[in-house]
Amino acid sequence: MSDSTRDRIINVADALFYQKGFEHTSFSDIANSVGISKGNFYHHFKTKDEILNAVIDFRLFRTRELLNAWHTSEAEPDKRIQCFIKILITNRAKIKLYGCPVGTLTTELGKLSHPLLVDANKIFTLFKDWLASQFEELGKCKSESEALAMQLLARSQGSATIASAFGDEEFLYEEVESHVRWLNEIK
Amino acid sequence: MSDSTRDRIINVADALFYQKGFEHTSFSDIANSVGISKGNFYHHFKTKDEILNAVIDFRLFRTRELLNAWHTSEAEPDKRIQCFIKILITNRAKIKLYGCPVGTLTTELGKLSHPLLVDANKIFTLFKDWLASQFEELGKCKSESEALAMQLLARSQGSATIASAFGDEEFLYEEVESHVRWLNEIK
DNA sequence: GTCTATATAGAGATAGAC
DNA sequence: GTCTATCTCTATATAGAC
């Protein structure tokens, strides 16, 4: 991502939407954080939904990059799945404070009946399909792979929410250990 | 709960906070839904935080009642834990639409850095402590009971979030089945 | 206890100068 | 591309009549 004003806005909005939520983040918040005026802001994005749309696209892009990185760094499908499991530890500090960025955004947009909910959900689908294809490589049939991907997604999601609610970073380590054990049992 | 205007406000606010989120629910929304004027509304609650506080107290009260009901209806601790597991099915229609009422509220209040987050989290603690005491009755030691309660809380939470994100009611049935199997294995 | 009318602040959004 | 100034709408909140 380059350093244009537009990209700096997207980066700041991405962080603020995660930390404060979409609705609770105002144009002023973003403009102040970027260090530009509100008027300038509107030169780059005409509506709040436009910036949300850009943030979702950015997150989709980063997610694809992350999945590709895991795919190239690990040769075995079970090792790749472990990469997913361990993001709870990699991002533990932020998860403790703000929960899962994917789950909290889709939950909020759902309650707002926001038209871009559909696009935010694509981030979940990206993870789900990638996980399912790893389970298939492990030798599972298509329908079981899909089910296992959903299960793992749900487990990670729950771990993040509970760790955040109880402000418990240590819990994330226990959960990751438990998820890895689960993976070794089912594979 | 009686039928006074105050109680009707709490009931409506409880539902709207769940469906639309706390911040996205306005006084007008509540007043309109109750069928009173905004002016009358302020006779009963002076600030938005006051009504949130009343809603949280109401939810704490209902949760205690629910746990007591499970306690009296089921003699065995594992059957009581199953009651908790199966609320995902009991409330499946609403969970699909709005997620878990406890998790989504605490997540939202966390992002708002809201002072009443502490009180909202007490609902989680109520479930956690009750589950832990059931695991103790099953013969688990104190620290393991606590850990198992947190695990089950996380699992249910994740199932709700993913079912809601994917609009998948059927997934809740699969998850409940999986949680019951887990309970039978560990007990 | 309930209403109408109103005050005030902050949000999203625009116009136009530089 | 960036700024200041301004508009409009809606949300929280208050005052005071009935």
In chain B the domains, ranked by start, together with CATH numbers, are 56-186 (1.10.357.10)
Q: Are B187 and B131 in contact (CB under 8 A)?
A: no
Task: State the pTM of this model.
Answer: 0.97
Q: Does the pLDDT value for residue A1 go beyond 80? A: no
Q: Could you read off the pLDDT of B94-116 as tens digits, one per residue?
A: 999 999 999 999 999 999 999 99
Residue A147 has φ and ψ, to the nearest 5°, of -65, -40
* pLDDT score at A3: 80
Span A4-12, mean pLDDT?
A: 97
B6 touches strand D (CB under 7 A): no
Q: What is the mean pLDDT of residues B116-145?
A: 98
Q: How many CB atoms lie within 10 A of CB B142?
A: 11
pLDDT at A162 over 90: yes
Q: What is the pLDDT of residue B3?
A: 80
Residues of B in contact with A150 (CB under 8 A): 162, 166, 168, 171
**Does nucleic acid strand C have an atom less than 7 angstroms from the CB of A46?**
yes
The B residues from 76 to 105 touching A (CB cutoff 8 Å) are 97-99, 103-104
Q: Straight-line distance from CA A13 to C1' C14, in Å?
A: 22
Q: Say what the pLDDT of residue B1 is.
A: 56
Average pLDDT over residues A2-30: 96
**C1' of C13 to CA of A7 (Å):** 21
Q: Which of A127-131, B2-6, B20-24 has the least mean pLDDT?
A: B2-6
Provide the percentage of residues in chain A whose pLDDT is more than 90: 98
C-beta of residue B41 within 8 angstroms of C-beta of residue B5: no
Average confidence (pLDDT) over B119-144: 98
Closest protein residue to C10 using CA and C1' atoms? Answer: A26
* Option in B158, B165, B174 nearest A147 (CB): B174
* Average of per-residue pLDDT across B1-26: 94
Q: Closest nt to B35 (CA→C1')?
A: C2
pLDDT tens string A137-147: 999 999 999 99
Q: Which protein residue lies nearest to nucleotide C6, measured between its Cα and the C1' atom? A: B39
Query: Which residues in window 95-134 of B are less than 7 A from strand C by Cβ?
Result: none
User: Of A87, A105, A98, whose CA–CA distance to A165 is shortest?
Assistant: A98
With pLDDT > 90 as the criterion, what percentage of chain B qualifies?
98
Task: Give contacts of B107 with chain A, Cβ < 8 Å.
Answer: 99, 104, 107, 161, 164-165
Residue A117 contacts B where some CB pair is shorter than 8 Å: no
What would the pLDDT profile of B41-92 be if each residue is shown by its tens digit?
999 999 999 999 999 999 999 999 999 999 999 999 999 999 999 999 999 9
Chain mean pLDDT for chain B: 97
A126 vs B: CB within 8 A: no
- Assess B51–A contact: CB distance below 8 Å, yes or no: no
Per-residue pLDDT tens digits for A30-59: 999 999 999 999 999 999 999 999 999 999
Please tell me the distance in Å from A162's CA to the nearest CA on chain B. Answer: 6
pLDDT-based confidence at B2, cuts 50/70/90?
A: low
- Asked if B17 and B55 touch (Cβ cutoff 8 Å), the reply is yes
Lookup: nucleotide whose C1' is closest to A6 CA: D1
CB of A173 closer than 8 Å to CB of A89: yes
